[in-house]
Amino acid sequence: MIIIMHSHVTDEEVHTVEQKLQSLGLEANVSRGLERTIIGAIGDERKIHKKTLQALPGVQDVIRVLKPYKIVAREGHEADTVINIKGIPLGGQTIQVIGGPCSVETQEQMDAAAHGVAHAGCRLMRGGAFKPRTSPYSFQGKGVEGLQIFRQAADKFQLPIITELMDVRYLDDFLKYGVEVIQIGTRNMQNFDLLKEVGKTHTPVILKRGLCATISEWLMSAEYIAAGGNHNIILCERGVRSFEKAYRNMLDVTAIPVLKKETHLPVIVDPSHAAGKAWLVSTLSKAAIAAGADGLLVEMHPHPCDAWCDADQALTPDELKNLMGELQGIAQAVGRSL
């Protein structure tokens, strides 16, 4: 941390800053230039709030040198983390495509969806038992009953399941039904109490980026989970809100290489929610893999026209299978496998 003092700072003001740093467990390194005095804070700066130092007399600005996130940062963990999901690796050499419908509707629908996912060559299945919806009058999901339906359908094809947890009160139900990966959705990226609770489990977590979240804010949310002891975290870019109305959200492909530089955690992309239209999913999927994504979260419904939510962005089973074939070439081109 660097503390920049005002140009006419007094010795007493410099001494006050030094004493404050020492009381916080840090050492002070004072550098006096011709026009400016700078004090370097040596030690663990992460637990110190900038405002604590900015309020001291003579202080002009405080700049952090170290990143506020520690466990998820690549600085302390050079190797890429690979998450083991019932023997299926997410991260590393193999790219995983997670397919399935937006929401769990009926047993028949989920059975057909599980067949389509497995037939396409996907090794993991997604589906929403609980659904966050903008309108309170829209379908909200089947809840715990949906977990049971999902579990029965996926088990027929030995598919690990990914589903969204919205309320900590249902965490025990997720564990009861053996949900292999808990998804924390966009709207809950900064629900810190929820993040703390999933951090107490060892269940892998997909953490989706908030609609207007910066990468730093996103990684700080991941740090909440990691600080609780759960380091099985997968980051999911799903598009951010912009001024454009031609598509649902703006897929931030740039975030993929930036995250790869900043963190050791696996990074996947949800092209379906970014696009909002099924015809865009293939192109965005290819761009994501080319940019270095470790996997995709793709919506597929046995009969998209009949879907209870997000019908426009769901692929058919045949379209999902075709997409898997198209992605093979992209994966090989970047030295990976599907």
Residue 233 covered by a domain:
yes
| 26 plus 114 within the same structural domain | no
Choosing from 22, 44, 63, the residue where a domain stops is 63
Backbone angles phi, psi at 237, to 5 degrees: -80, 125
d(Cα 228, Cα 182) in Å, to the nearest integer? 15
Confidence grade of residue 77 (pLDDT, cut at 50, 70, 90): confident
pLDDT of residue 256: 98
Mean of the per-residue pLDDT values of the chain: 92
Tell me the pLDDT tens digit for each residue of 3-47: 889 988 999 999 999 999 999 888 888 877 667 788 888 877 766
| 151 plus 283 within the same structural domain | yes
pTM: 0.84
Residue 69 covered by a domain:
no
| 172 plus 311 within the same structural domain | yes
Enumerate residues 6+ apart whose C-beta is below 8 A from 250: 239, 240, 241, 242, 244, 274
Residues 198 and 164 sit within 8 Å (Cβ to Cβ): no
> What percentage of residues in the chain have a pLDDT greater than 90?
75
Residue 100 covered by a domain:
yes
Residue 338 covered by a domain:
no
Site of tokens 């059975």: 111
| 17 plus 112 within the same structural domain | no
| 194 plus 137 within the same structural domain | yes
Residue 151 covered by a domain:
yes
pLDDT of residue 212: 94
Residues 273 and 288 sit within 8 Å (Cβ to Cβ): no
Residue 265 covered by a domain:
yes
Owning domain of residue 137 = 74-333
Domains of the chain: total: 2
Residue 315 covered by a domain:
yes
pLDDT of residue 34: 65
Choosing from 42, 63, 84, the residue where a domain stops is 63
Enumerate residues 6+ apart whose C-beta is below 8 A from 9: 37, 58
Residue 68 covered by a domain:
no
- Name the CA radius of gyration of the chain, rounded: 23
- Of 138-142, 263-267, 304-308, which one has max mean pLDDT? 263-267
